[in-house]
Structure 1
């Protein structure tokens, strides 16, 4: 009886500890979010009412072509580590005649997700100093989504273009939050293009657009009239954003309609996949193997379906909806092909937009350290076989002596 009571007390204490840890984690998360919102609020106020230096002050700064060119080129690499030094250099020069060049380098910058906030602060500094900076910047960033029919764009790596669009969309949303982008209608044009039925004819384009729309819905829930989870206490910040009720209605309807369309496409592709699996099962039963042509057809359809399922599920989650569940009649099983066990070469044209924002993020999750470099061999069990072998030899020597 005493043991049972003791165990119950231990269990109760453990439950209390778990609840306390969760409570502390939630408080820390909310505190961090409050800090971020306060920073955005302060930056937004400064950007909406910038106190720009006059021409006389700017003339006291370095206006030489050589010095300005050197500083401007650094805008092509913006990250948190270099941000403070870069901003100090930007304050020391007069870029009045080089604004368009500065914008060009910012638009070319390959920003990771971790670099977005640094880029926002750099852009805010330039916005608060040069009146013509923001209109030029917005125009340059929008070209990422509406590039026209240039040969360079058509020949560019599709994965790189997809990642560029995603980082640019994230940057534009953050620039809107801090008051550099003041007109939410630019997002209306972007969403209209991304949800266009024309793009559904191109599977690679569909996959990219699904990812971009998921990013928009996740980062900009306010645009859809959705309340970010656990952030109700900071409604005041979002109320200051000039997104009209009509625009919110458009965003929500556009994304929900697009989701319904791609969900139907997913269902249709699932039916085709099941039919092909049933046919392949019959062939395998009769002949014992599939032809190369049938194998290739199946692999192509299966890969297409899996990628579409991931994209649609991600969009559903971003819209606070339940991801689609494919019906399973239990009559067929997925056919295994020889390439299922082979590693991807990374050059497959059907390998659409990667799940990682950039190579650094991918390396962080996929490049695992060698534990042997950090953990003693005895803890990994690597010396045990040798020890056992020595014991065995000892027993053999003992038996010989007897």
Structure 2
């Protein structure tokens, strides 16, 4: 092989690739095994399509008793060891489900020998149902396929009844009550579906695959978004069906490629192998021959007609699409729960038990559905859908890119990104931010009695009542005015006022001498006394409006206490209000008594005035 150098002019000889002779031998052996597998499939199908059934005269010579045939049916329904195949020799080629003649002393060999001695022409439907329901595990499918092939080659009406029995055995007539029953049902349906596919490939059920299409369509009709367990079960069952050789024969999909240790250029007939060792040249030559033989067998293998294969493939694609959508939905829900669990674990410690249980439930459901999807993709020879891989990569990037902030909250999450920017994203969400920064109004949430508001109001009312009492006490018991009311009577007391009145009625000789100066000299004396009396009367009258104001204040305070008592309903506050009310009423009574005394004083002053006037007239 030649190539141009860096300048693009001088041809240079490329070094020959290094090839291990052992790798060439292993690859040739794999190609030979796969070719033998295809040859065995072809032989089994020929045996089930090109055969000669025994005549009716030959069947009449066999035992047709009900007892022995019923025992055979019961033995078939039991499955288990009777369907186990003997271990094949190590050098024997693989077979398609073990179809064909069985030799040895295994359970299936003994069962076939017993079938050969009986005439089951009248019990074909029972035998078909028994064989369809017989395999309880996938390891028993090969034995059931051997029995089905034997009965198909003896009785013409076995194949159509066997197809109907397979569809009936696959259907779910009763929902499982326990988890164990659900597992048993799943194993039986998986074995039944696998048996139906391999029976079609082996040529037992003929070209009619309508029963298989009905099974696949039932799997595709699952409510993917609602029932995750049913979605995983349907996907797993479909994966059991479409494994090779069913994938190549019924769906017309290519088989798994066999990796080769040499480039395709070395496998060409005109390839230059002069630089290779002799054992490598021989290995490459053997590999070429095996490749050509395998291609010839692949071209000769049986495949379902394109129209029927398209129907099956459409149902398979619908199942794959439904499982992909369910997987994406479960992944999204799992990420939301996981984000919430992580947030609570880093902000408040351990997350709630209910949330942790929900996370575990969703995680197990997602893992089960994903495992079923992986099995289906492997059976179909495909990779996981790109949507699933992208979603998982995005979720992994979010988890790997998360970093802890200074208070232990994961940054990079939607909650932290939406947090307020004023505090630098310190808080995880708005709830945490409000908890630490928004101070609640205690007055609107706590009763006023606990905060002392009622006591403060009661204290204010007490002070108002005390002020009113002090105002009432400033008025003398006889109703005279305080000394500071008039400049002419400063320092005068009610006693002095009374003495002044008596002096006016009975003047002393000195006063009489002073007053003998005539009427003009007496006038000022009388005017002064009268002025003092008038000021005293005015002072007492001025205190009356103040007492009325204090009484109004007292009544307002009492009314406020009553309202506070009705609104709060506190017994202790009510008792205090009642005591205050009684005190106020007592003060009001005293104030009324003081008012009566003031009126008596005014009457006494008026009477003194009258007596003074009479006395003056007498003089």
The TM-score with structure 2 as length reference comes to 0.47
CA deviation vs aligned residue, 1:316-369 (integer Å, no higher than 9, x gap): 233332223212354447xxxxxxxxxxxxxxxxxxxxxxxxxxxxxxxxxxxx
Secondary structure of 1:119 counterpart: helix
* Whole-Å separation in 1 of the counterparts to 2:169 and 2:224: 16
CA deviation vs aligned residue, 1:294-322 (integer Å, no higher than 9, x gap): 11111111111111221222222333322
Structure 1 position 170, deviation (Å): 1.3
Unaligned runs of 5+ in 1: 1-14, 334-402
1:168 correspondence with 2:192: yes
CA contact (8 A) 1:138 1:181 kept: yes
* Whole-Å separation in 2 of the counterparts to 1:191 and 1:95: 32
* Whole-Å separation in 2 of the counterparts to 1:94 and 1:310: 47
1:191 correspondence with 2:201: no
Structure 1 position 155, deviation (Å): 4.2
CA deviation vs aligned residue, 1:139-183 (integer Å, no higher than 9, x gap): 111113334xx44x5547122111111111111111111211121
1:123 correspondence with 2:148: yes
Cα separation, partners in 2 of 1:82 and 1:36, compared to 1, 3 Å: farther
Q: Work out which of the residue numbers 352, 356, 372 in structure 2 matches 1:295.
A: 356
CA contact (8 A) 2:163 2:211 kept: no
* Whole-Å separation in 1 of the counterparts to 2:378 and 2:71: 44
Pairing 1:47-62 to 2, within 5 Å after superposition? 47-62=48-63
Structure 1 position 129, deviation (Å): 0.9
Aligned length: 313
Structure 1 position 128, deviation (Å): 1.0
* Whole-Å separation in 2 of the counterparts to 1:82 and 1:141: 22
Residue number in structure 1 paired with 2:128: 103
1:224 correspondence with 2:225: no
1:181 correspondence with 2:205: yes
CA deviation vs aligned residue, 1:271-294 (integer Å, no higher than 9, x gap): 222222221122112221122111
Residue number in structure 1 paired with 2:307: 246
Residue number in structure 1 paired with 2:410: none
Bigger relative contact order, structure 1 or 2 (CA pairs below 8 A, ≥6 apart): 1
Cα separation, partners in 2 of 1:146 and 1:72, compared to 1, 3 Å: closer
Cα separation, partners in 2 of 1:41 and 1:249, compared to 1, 3 Å: same
Cα separation, partners in 2 of 1:71 and 1:145, compared to 1, 3 Å: closer
Secondary structure of 2:310 counterpart: helix
* Whole-Å separation in 2 of the counterparts to 1:300 and 1:280: 13
The TM-score with structure 1 as length reference comes to 0.70
Cα separation, partners in 2 of 1:34 and 1:52, compared to 1, 3 Å: same
Cα separation, partners in 2 of 1:100 and 1:250, compared to 1, 3 Å: closer
Cα separation, partners in 2 of 1:293 and 1:272, compared to 1, 3 Å: same
* Whole-Å separation in 2 of the counterparts to 1:259 and 1:63: 48
CA contact (8 A) 2:135 2:144 kept: no
* Whole-Å separation in 2 of the counterparts to 1:237 and 1:158: 42
Cα separation, partners in 2 of 1:331 and 1:35, compared to 1, 3 Å: closer
Structure 1 position 111, deviation (Å): 4.2
Residue number in structure 1 paired with 2:298: 235
Cα separation, partners in 2 of 1:244 and 1:203, compared to 1, 3 Å: same
* Whole-Å separation in 1 of the counterparts to 2:38 and 2:398: 53
Residue number in structure 2 paired with 1:65: 66
Cα separation, partners in 2 of 1:298 and 1:27, compared to 1, 3 Å: same
CA deviation vs aligned residue, 1:24-45 (integer Å, no higher than 9, x gap): 4444444343334333323322
1:275 correspondence with 2:336: yes
Pairing 1:109-148 to 2, within 5 Å after superposition? 109-147=134-172
Residue number in structure 1 paired with 2:84: 79
Cα separation, partners in 2 of 1:134 and 1:255, compared to 1, 3 Å: closer
Cα separation, partners in 2 of 1:253 and 1:98, compared to 1, 3 Å: closer
Cα separation, partners in 2 of 1:105 and 1:329, compared to 1, 3 Å: closer
Structure 1 position 66, deviation (Å): 2.6
Residue number in structure 1 paired with 2:345: 284
* Whole-Å separation in 1 of the counterparts to 2:251 and 2:236: 17
CA contact (8 A) 1:283 1:289 kept: yes
Pairing 1:250-399 to 2, within 5 Å after superposition? 250-323=311-384, 324-325=388-389, 326=392, 327-328=394-395, 330-332=397-399
CA contact (8 A) 1:278 1:332 kept: no
Structure 1 position 237, deviation (Å): 4.3
* Whole-Å separation in 2 of the counterparts to 1:250 and 1:171: 20
Residue number in structure 1 paired with 2:39: 38
Residue number in structure 2 paired with 1:377: none
Structure 1 position 118, deviation (Å): 2.5
CA contact (8 A) 1:266 1:309 kept: yes
Cα separation, partners in 2 of 1:192 and 1:108, compared to 1, 3 Å: closer
CA contact (8 A) 1:277 1:332 kept: no
Cα separation, partners in 2 of 1:139 and 1:275, compared to 1, 3 Å: same
Secondary structure of 1:271 counterpart: helix
Residue number in structure 2 paired with 1:158: 182
